């Protein structure tokens, strides 16, 4: 599972366990869009505490862009009457960092990105966000989208009994087509290359050696 | 929750080991240049232009075509006048409304939509900063466009280069959208010159969209040292520093001796040795200074993603096999608690 998504599940479960949302959390649904093997990720999410899952299966090798992911989430949020979407701030493969904001934009909801603290209060949901140079706190009302930063929490390990229990939880399968969302890509990947390698390994004996090498390289 | 089939990309990366041909000059766009028109979304804080955001203008210059810059906030006049002097901008669109001061995407994105519709821009560019990251995907959703994040090079008006997999692969992507929404990696597009321009200033449209999110407060780390993301020199400490006290005692004097910004690895930040905002890496800041000098950092892939484009990398680490030495131009194997103070002292004497 993408590390930021583990944080999302953990936070959702904690909101329920710690009764942070007045009125309680009715249900936690885990959602994944991907090739058949992504089902394993949903099992993990349910072992961590999600109640059920929705799996949008796509063909092996088909990569769904954030915009299409956002549109799928919108359809499912409407269908399931979800009022809080929690997702990772970015996937560590594509590194786009867009999905949560897209969902909020499509739904017209408030969004708090890169959350490091989530508090439910009378005036709404207060979220501390990681921003350049420090943190910023915003307040929004449900329904809303929160994207998770690494410092939000420490995801739990799924225990064996919970892994067994998760096997009985329901996974609802649906296709993008059934939801009326096109997976046609807007970005065509023309090529993928390795970055130019760096040549390291230039070791020096002592601090004087370091200073003179840095001078030689024009770094100081 | 969202997983993508990423393996195919890695496979592809492994089969195409051709060296990168370097930042290729933008192809001649003479026939298209007339049609191309970029909007650079600039950032401001407390009535001052954020010069870091001028990288968007540099990217627009590489695209060719006309360049308009956008600013919004309360008492925006001074910011607009400052932006008007930036080299290469034809026109500034300014929206004077304090509702946009904090750059909340809930009302800022609809604001941009209206101004983009009116101006007919083909390319919308902002920095891949906290502001750009929260705003631009929302804008892209409203315009039904697939945004291109964190680009490091422009090949032509629809082809862009961006790192994926923590910088371990470089993808070239071609956009088929009518409007290209792009965030740029600041270290790849240096700020445009703040002098020499004479842009006209025009009032933008203000749809006054409702904002269901309010700004409450902020807590920004104050420092007299240079800003991490744009500093010419960065000294960075890791887990090896052992405590916040030692981090401050060992690293800060070295930073002062060099006039450098201070950075940290995720391990150091998570252990509370340094502030979150100082984290360098895939999920923190990406820096590319003239000199990146680190101590007590092993060089995990996620950290390298944030600093391996630095001009010169120097490392002090007691583990001779630490991966950081595979990328360091100057490596010193030794105890940082001896070596760093000695280095600081010798630098101060010069």
Q: How many domains does chain A divide into? A: 1
Contact B165 A95 (CB under 8 A): yes
The pLDDT tens digits of the residues spanning A142-153 come to 999 999 999 999
Q: Is the pLDDT of residue B20 over 60?
A: no
Interface predicted TM-score (ipTM) over 0.90: yes
Residue that wins the pLDDT comparison between B221 and B155: B155
Q: Could you list the residue range(s) of the whole structural domain that residue A22 is in?
A: 3-216
Q: Is the pLDDT of residue B18 over 70?
A: no
The pLDDT tens digits of the residues spanning A9-31 come to 999 999 999 999 988 999 999 99
Residue among A99, A113, A204 whose CB faces B2 most closely:
A99
| Residue A25 Cα, gap to closest chain B Cα (Å) | 19
Tell me if B33-203 shares its fold with B233-349.
Answer: yes
B271 touches chain A (CB under 8 A): no
A106 touches chain B (CB under 8 A): yes
Show the DSSP H helices in B85-168 as ranges: 105-119, 130-143
Q: What is the CA radius of gyration of chain B?
A: 22
B101 touches chain A (CB under 8 A): no
Q: Cα separations (Å) of B2 from A4, A18, A177, A202, B9? A: 10, 26, 18, 41, 17
Report the interhelical angle of B244-258 vs B336-349 (nearest 10°): 30
Q: Percentage of chain B with pLDDT > 90?
A: 87
- Taking the CB of residue B97, how many other CB atoms lie within 10 A of it? 16
B 133-152: CB under 8 A from A? 133-142, 144-150
B33-203, what's its fold?
Answer: Rossmann fold (3.40.50)
SS3 B53: helix
Residues of B annotated as binding site for FAD?
239, 265-266, 279-283, 296-303, 317
| Residue A37 Cα, gap to closest chain B Cα (Å) | 10
The mean predicted confidence, pLDDT, of chain A is: 96
Please report residues of B whose CB lies closer than 8 A to that of A66.
137, 146-147
DSSP letter (8 states) at residue B319: -
Please report the pLDDT score of residue B105 as a whole number: 98
Residue among A94, A138, A189 whose CB faces B214 most closely:
A138
| Cα separation, A165 vs A207, whole angstroms | 59
Residue among A129, A130, A203 whose CB faces B333 most closely:
A203
How confident is the model over B254-271, as a mean pLDDT? 97
- List the single residue in A with minimal CA-CA distance to B322: A201
Contact B105 A185 (CB under 8 A): no
Q: Domain residue spans in chain B?
A: 33-203, 233-349
B261 touches chain A (CB under 8 A): no
B224 touches chain A (CB under 8 A): no
Buried/exposed A8-45: b ≥16 CB within 10 Å, e otherwise: bbbbbbbbbeeebbeeebeebbbbbbbbeebbebbbbb
Please report the pLDDT score of residue B175 as a whole number: 98
Report the interhelical angle of A99-107 vs B130-143 (nearest 10°): 50
Pairing of the two strands A124-131 and B123-127: unpaired
Phi-psi bin for A92: left (phi > 0), alpha (psi -120 to 50), beta?
alpha
| Cα separation, B342 vs B333, whole angstroms | 14
- List the single residue in A with minimal CA-CA distance to B324: A200
Top residue of A3, A36, A89, A193 to mutate, by most chain B CBs within 10 Å, is A193
Instruction: Check which CATH number belongs to the domain holding A129 and give it.
Output: 3.40.50.620
Q: Cα separations (Å) of B318 from A62, A128, A210, B298? A: 45, 37, 15, 10
Please report the pLDDT score of residue A109 as a whole number: 98
- Match domain B233-349 to its CATH number in 3.40.50.1220, 2.60.40.10, 3.10.20.30, 3.30.420.240: 3.40.50.1220
| Residue B200 Cα, gap to closest chain A Cα (Å) | 30
Positions of chain A with pLDDT lower than 70, given as ranges: none
Contact B169 A70 (CB under 8 A): no
């Amino acid at each position: 599972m993408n590390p930021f998504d583990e944080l999302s599940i953990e936070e959702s479960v904690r909101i329920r366990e710690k009764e942070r949302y007045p009125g309680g959390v009715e249900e936690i649904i885990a959602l994944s869009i991907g090739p058949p093997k992504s089902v394993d990720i949903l099992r993990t999410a349910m072992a961590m505490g999600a109640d059920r899952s929705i799996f949008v299966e796509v063909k092996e090798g088909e990569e769904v862009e954030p915009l299409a992911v956002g549109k799928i989430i919108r359809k499912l949020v409407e269908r399931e009457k979800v009022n809080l979407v929690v997702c990772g701030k970015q996937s560590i493969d594509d590194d786009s960092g867009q999905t949560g904001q897209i969902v909020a934009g499509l739904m017209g909801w408030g969004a708090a990105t890169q959350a490091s603290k989530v508090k439910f209060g009378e005036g709404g949901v207060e979220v501390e966000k990681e921003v350049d140079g420090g943190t910023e706190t915003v307040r929004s009302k449900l329904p809303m989208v929160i994207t998770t930063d690494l410092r939000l929490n420490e995801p739990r390990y799924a225990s064996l009994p919970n892994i067994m229990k998760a096997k009985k939880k329901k996974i609802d399968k649906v296709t993008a087509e059934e939801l009326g969302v096109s997976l046609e890509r807007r970005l065509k990947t023309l090529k993928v290359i390795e970055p130019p390698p760096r040549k390291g390994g230039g070791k020096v004996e002592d601090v004087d050696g370091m200073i003179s090498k840095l001078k030689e390289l024009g770094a100081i | 929750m969202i997983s993508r089939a990423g393996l195919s990309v890695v496979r592809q990366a492994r089969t195409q080991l051709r060296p990168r041909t370097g930042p290729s000059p933008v192809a001649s766009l003479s026939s298209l240049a007339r049609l191309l028109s970029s909007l650079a979304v600039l950032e401001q804080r407390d009535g001052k232009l954020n010069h870091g955001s001028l990288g968007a203008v540099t990217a627009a210059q590489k695209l060719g075509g006309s360049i308009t810059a956008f600013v919004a906030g309360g008492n925006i006049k001074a910011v607009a006048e400052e932006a008007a002097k930036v080299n290469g901008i034809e026109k500034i669109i300014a929206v004077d409304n304090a509702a946009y001061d904090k750059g909340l995407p809930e009302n800022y994105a609809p604001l941009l939509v209206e101004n983009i519709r009116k101006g007919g821009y083909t390319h919308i560019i902002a920095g891949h900063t906290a502001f750009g990251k929260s705003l631009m995907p929302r804008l892209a959703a409203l315009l039904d466009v697939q945004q291109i994040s964190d680009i490091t090079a422009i090949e032509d008006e629809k082809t862009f280069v961006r790192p994926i997999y923590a910088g371990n692969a470089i993808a070239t992507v071609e956009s088929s959208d009518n409007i290209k929404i792009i965030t740029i990696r600041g270290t790849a597009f240096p700020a445009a010159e703040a002098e020499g321009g004479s842009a006209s200033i025009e009032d933008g449209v203000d749809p006054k969209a409702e904002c269901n999110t309010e700004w409450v407060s902020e807590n920004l780390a104050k420092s007299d040292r240079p800003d991490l993301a744009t500093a010419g020199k960065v000294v960075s400490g890791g887990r090896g520093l052992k405590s916040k006290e030692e981090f401050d005692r060992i690293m800060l004097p070295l930073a002062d001796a060099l006039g450098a910004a201070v950075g940290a690895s995720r391990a150091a930040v998570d252990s509370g040795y340094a502030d979150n905002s100082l984290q360098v890496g895939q999920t923190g800041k990406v820096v590319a200074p003239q000199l990146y000098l680190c101590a007590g950092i092993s060089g995990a892939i996620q950290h390298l993603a944030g600093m391996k484009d630095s001009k010169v990398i120097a490392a002090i680490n007691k583990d001779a096999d630490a991966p950081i030495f595979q990328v360091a131009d100057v490596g010193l194997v030794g105890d940082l608690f001896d070596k760093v103070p000695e280095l600081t002292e010798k630098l101060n004497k010069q």
